[in-house]
Structure 1
């Protein structure tokens, strides 16, 4: 019987502890999700990424590079800067713009979970599917196609990675 009481006590403690730390979690449930298309994702970054990327001042020192293209010429230049291997995709720049997000990922591939837009701030939530990842610094670039109405006036993007928010200027 004592074993049963101990197990019940441990289960109750576990349930109570699940609620701890909720104030630090990112809540994007209020922000409207936007339509976007991931038109490319490769393990590549510009050769001078460490020199031109935005780096968080606080720990962890995540680095991000966000570039926007509003026309085909800019898009081709950015495509070449990031040194993508695939052929450049076609984009209808009459109604769309392109944003390229560069970052370092661990041994577990990073993916975009969702993109939200609230009060003229674009929030990009990135995550991995696994929890047991080595802390490598592998390159990753995402090419995202967005509606012009959402992307034209943006000056910065909030990247949410491992529940840590980082405001990154668009270059």
Structure 2
């Protein structure tokens, strides 16, 4: 009889426990990944980044500067603002837009791990390949080419860095 009660209890609890341990719905990495092209990445930031960047209010004190270019004129202006050394790449603005993401990285180089769309917001996950990094504040800017349909109506982007999510307005 005790075995029967235990099996019945287990049969009732398993469906209840099935959802435990998962992240909030819509915030998992199972969201559809977005096709993108990284067209530039340099150790540079805008000279006045500390004045114009978005700063997290709570620790860690990450700073992000995100610009979106929907035409060649804006793209050239932002390219110059971020003071890139390389020549500006060509972009087909008929079908693509450009997002420029500036941040500070540690002594380990940061890369874009993935970009996905969840709950009508673009999420960009950045990471470094190493775990033993010094907490330096080295500049890094990524230039990302995205399909126009995905990026045209965005007002803000979620940046995930070290599993910390920060919602950043697009300037």
Any runs of at least 4 consecutive aligned residues in structure 1 with deviations exceeding 4 A, and if so which? 21-24
Aligned residue for 2:51, secondary structure, equals helix
Note closer, same or farther for the CA distance 1:52–1:118 as it changes in structure 2 (3 Å cut). Answer: same
* Cα distance in structure 2, aligned partners of 1:128 and 1:156: 23
How many Å apart are 1:39 and its aligned residue?
Answer: 0.1
How many Å apart are 1:23 and its aligned residue?
Answer: 5.8
Correspondence 1:126 to 2:130? no
Note closer, same or farther for the CA distance 1:149–1:23 as it changes in structure 2 (3 Å cut). Answer: closer
Partner of 2:112: 112
Q: TM-score, normalised by structure 2?
A: 0.84
User: 8 Å contact 1:28–1:116 — kept in the other structure?
Assistant: no
Aligned residue for 1:68, secondary structure, equals strand
Number of residues paired by the alignment?
150
RMSD value, Cα: 1.6
Aligned residue for 1:61, secondary structure, equals coil
CA deviation string 1:124-168 (max 9, x = no partner) = 000000000000000000000000000000000000000000000
* Cα distance in structure 2, aligned partners of 1:81 and 1:116: 27
User: 8 Å contact 2:53–2:64 — kept in the other structure?
Assistant: yes
Partner of 1:90: 90
How many Å apart are 1:22 and its aligned residue?
Answer: 7.4
* Cα distance in structure 1, aligned partners of 2:159 and 2:86: 25
Structure 2 unaligned blocks of 5 or more = 1-20
* Cα distance in structure 1, aligned partners of 2:164 and 2:71: 32
Aligned residue for 1:114, secondary structure, equals strand
Structure 1 unaligned blocks of 5 or more = 1-20
Q: Which has the larger radius of gyration?
A: 2
